[in-house]
Structure 1
């Protein structure tokens, strides 16, 4: 597991997204799963980024941030989950005051392929 990076990561919405943590030691439903958890403060209640815009950010994060970090990973993960949260929240915790969006992807031919949860 790795933890928070302070440098903002460029996303289509322009919101200041930062990495909270990467988790690869928790099993997923599809086998080996890597989770990339990001802080995205503008998705929260009253924020300026709606789900459709956040989805574009998630796809961009998978393609431009996640894929380069998986290059050469053995064994390759069966699934990658990219999540956005408007506030830090421990992995697996729920809080009705925190907005979170999750999307799952498989990796094929160097691209993130959306997988229905």
Structure 2
């Protein structure tokens, strides 16, 4: 009996440890957004806390993105959060208190500065199955 309990604890710890790690993006997953742009999911990062605590970051490649696209990108990010990200945070441990959606004109390693690359970020609070925009 004791051995079975230890096995359950080890399994739980292993699952809990991997739940907070960076998740692999589905290979080749592309998403169309209201602006008509087609994005590619770069990755989902869950192992870097944000100001609100547990945070799920959904990073997208947006080829051709430029500084003039800010307004359309903001609308696309809200749509992505409501239709894509909110569904994918279910069951994450710990439960994200914040969702960050980012667009980048080129793939940039998470946390690295890239002054020559256009990037946009928006932050949302998951609430009752929807995304509530927050000042980032």
Is TM (by shorter chain) over 0.5?
Answer: yes
Match in the other structure for 1:84: 103
Match in the other structure for 1:22: 44
Larger Rg: 2
How many angstroms apart in 2 are the aligned matches of 1:100 and 1:3?
A: 21
Do the aligned residues in 2 keep the contact of 1:15 with 1:42 (CA within 8 Å)? no
- 2:84 aligned to 52, 65, 68, which one? 65
Unaligned runs of 5+ in 2: 1-21
Match in the other structure for 2:125: 106
SS at match of 1:95: coil
Do the aligned residues in 2 keep the contact of 1:37 with 1:82 (CA within 8 Å)? yes
How many angstroms apart in 2 are the aligned matches of 1:71 and 1:34?
A: 11
Superposition deviation, residue 43 in structure 1:
1.4
* Deviant stretches of 4+, over 4 Å: none
Superposition deviation, residue 2 in structure 1:
2.4
Structure 1 or 2: larger helix share? 2
Superposition deviation, residue 30 in structure 1:
0.8
Match in the other structure for 2:23: 2
Do the aligned residues in 1 keep the contact of 2:65 with 2:105 (CA within 8 Å)? yes
SS at match of 1:58: helix
The alignment of Structure 1 onto Structure 2 pairs a total of residues equal to 114
Unaligned runs of 5+ in 1: none
The one-character-per-residue Cα deviations of 1:7-46 (angstroms, maximum 9, x if unpaired) are 320201111201001000011111001111000113136x
Check 1:3–1:73 CA distance in 2 against 1; reply closer, same or farther (3 A cut): closer
SS at match of 1:66: helix
Superposition deviation, residue 71 in structure 1:
2.2
